[in-house]
Amino acid sequence: MSEPLELAVVIPTFNERANVPLLVAKLEQALRGTRWEAIFVDDDSPDGTADAAREIARADSRVRVIQRIGRRGLGTACIEGMCATAAPVVAVIDGDLQHDETILPQMLAALHGDDALDIVIGSRFVAGGGTGEWDRDRVAKSAFATRLSQRVLNVGLTDPMSGFFAIRTDVVRTIAPHLSGIGFKILLDIMTASARPLQCLELPYVFRCREQGESKLDHVVALEYLIALYDRKFGKVVPVRFAMFSCIGVIGVLIHMGVLMLLHLGLGSGFLGAQIVGTAAAMTFNFFLNNALTYRDRRLRGWRQLLDGWVSFSLVCSVGAVANVGVAAFLYDFRYGAWAGSALAGVLVGAVWNYALSSRFTWG
Ligand code: GDD
Ligand code: MN
């Protein structure tokens, strides 16, 4: 019988083929004398990252691979990796060599040395740490995101944006049902999901430059960060999807009015025609924006899916509009003159209808 595992290292990857062998070699170096396993969680990268990891795994049984099909997301990849080990401690580290794996033994030793400690976090902002060769723009954006999280969620960490940490596996399993998994910020998710405050320690490290491959941090990831903050703060009151759907609905109304004014006032076309075109424009706009943002995880792709989706969305919204007008008219008759309240109630009923049915039939 072999000795029990001490540490699992979870490595979320997307298009990191060239980095895989380099990282395994660095882990091997850094973790001499520790019984460890590495778990790559790859979202079916087109560059064959999972194959590269399996190639190594064939010769080295400490390396494992989880290949997810049809899924994307750094946060959920980390969660699934952390729940897939029998080791008592699990670390998460980026697959692009930007995190400093040489502090993993210190992280493990800290957890071994103090039973009260839940999590050890690699920080760029405690003495001895650093952001390396980041340009001013990235430093400013990161500082803004950090301040925002401290304002909104009040986590007392110097580097809540870090994606490099080691945590007790039983703690992860306890809080896993409460993790949102939205976006990139898995540490923030963990820190705010726990019912009791987690005992943490921050250890310094210097963020390295990426040599191979490219960053996946883009505008959608930035938006997902805001969505994740909203979800933690208000998600229990108004679910994040419904909030996004409603915001997009409001923009749709503005588009409707814009088209109507352009055609009716600007070009002199008849009201009815302009109203129909305005409605169609708003519905089409709403469909594509909801597809790209609200339902980005179930996104419809290809002209066939998009056409079917657009038709079903338009049908749902048409019925929603009838419900909206019906409810508003009923309330208006009932409490004569309460036009604003009646209209708002109609809008609310229409929005809930559209949301409930399109989530079932268009993106179900
Ligand atoms: N499985 C999976 N799925 N992995 C992903 C995905 C995804 O959708 N998107 C990114 N990754 C992997 C990358 O392959 C890489 O190993 C790691 O997650 C980090 O992604 P990068 O694209 O390199 O992001 P970054 O360098 O901008 O951000 C990282 O550094 C931050 C520090 O500011 C992330 O680790 C953040 O969590 C970290 O806080
Ligand atoms: Mn990176």
262-319 tens-digit pLDDT: 999 999 888 889 988 999 999 999 999 999 999 988 899 999 999 999 999 999 999 9
d(CA 298, CA 202): 37
Q: Ligand 2 centroid to 246 CA: how many Å?
A: 33
Contact between residue 208 and residue 97 where contact means Cβ atoms under 8 Å apart: yes
d(CA 103, CA 165): 10
- The pLDDT value recorded for residue 133 is 80
Beta carbon of 78 within 6 Å of any ligand 1 atom: no
Pocket probe mutation, ligand 1, options 43, 68, 74, 212, max atoms within 8 Å of Cβ: 74
d(CA 327, CA 35): 66
Beta carbon of 94 within 6 Å of any ligand 1 atom: yes
Beta carbon of 217 within 6 Å of any ligand 1 atom: yes
Beta carbon of 13 within 6 Å of any ligand 1 atom: yes
- The pLDDT value recorded for residue 309 is 97
Beta carbon of 245 within 6 Å of any ligand 1 atom: no
Please choose, from the candidates 114, 65, 62, 118, the residue with its C-alpha nearest in 3D space to the C-alpha of residue 89.
118
- The pLDDT value recorded for residue 1 is 64
- The pLDDT value recorded for residue 252 is 93
- The pLDDT value recorded for residue 36 is 98
d(CA 178, CA 183): 15
Please state the three-class secondary structure of the chain as a single string: CCCCCCEEEEEEECCCCCHHHHHHHHHHHHCCCCCEEEEEEECCCCCCHHHHHHHHHHHCCCEEEEECCCCCCHHHHHHHHHCCCCCCEEEECCCCCCCCHHHHHHHHHHHHHCCCCCEEEEECCCCCCECCCCCHHHHHHHHHHHHHHHHHHCCCCCCCCCCCEEEEHHHHHHHHHHCCCCCCCHHHHHHHHCCCCCCEEEEECECCCCCCCCCCCCHHHHHHHHHHHHHHHHCCCCCHHHHHHHHHHHHHHHHHHHHHHHHHHHCCCCHHHHHHHHHHHHHHHHHHHHHHHHCHHHCCCHHHHHHHHHHHHHHHHHHHHHHHHHHHHHHHHHCCCCHHHHHHHHHHHHHHHHHHHHHHHCCC
Contact between residue 193 and residue 179 where contact means Cβ atoms under 8 Å apart: yes
Ligand 1 atom 28: the closest Cα is on which residue? 217
- The pLDDT value recorded for residue 335 is 75
d(CA 74, CA 80): 10
Beta carbon of 41 within 6 Å of any ligand 1 atom: yes
Please choose, from the candidates 296, 284, 139, the residue with its C-alpha nearest in 3D space to the C-alpha of residue 223.
296
- The pLDDT value recorded for residue 249 is 94
Ligand 1 atom 34: the closest Cα is on which residue? 163
Beta carbon of 300 within 6 Å of any ligand 1 atom: no
**Diameter over CA atoms, the chain:** 85
d(CA 324, CA 313): 16
Q: Ligand 2 centroid to 19 CA: how many Å?
A: 11
Mean pLDDT by 10 residues, the chain (364 residues): 90 98 98 97 97 98 95 94 98 97 98 97 94 85 91 90 97 95 94 94 95 91 93 92 94 93 90 89 96 90 95 95 90 81 90 95 93
d(CA 150, CA 156): 7
Q: Ligand 2 centroid to 96 CA: how many Å?
A: 6
Beta carbon of 215 within 6 Å of any ligand 1 atom: yes
Q: What is the per-residue pLDDT across 318-363, written as a single tens digit (0 to 9) for each?
A: 999 999 889 988 988 887 678 888 888 998 999 999 999 999 999 9
State which amino acid sits at residue 253.
V
Q: Ligand 1 centroid to 221 CA: how many Å?
A: 10
- The pLDDT value recorded for residue 124 is 94
Beta carbon of 98 within 6 Å of any ligand 1 atom: yes
d(CA 309, CA 287): 8
Ligand 1 atom 26: the closest Cα is on which residue? 215
Distance of CA 222 to the CA centre of its chain: 9
Beta carbon of 162 within 6 Å of any ligand 1 atom: yes
- The pLDDT value recorded for residue 230 is 94
Beta carbon of 80 within 6 Å of any ligand 1 atom: no
Pocket probe mutation, ligand 1, options 98, 99, 123, max atoms within 8 Å of Cβ: 98
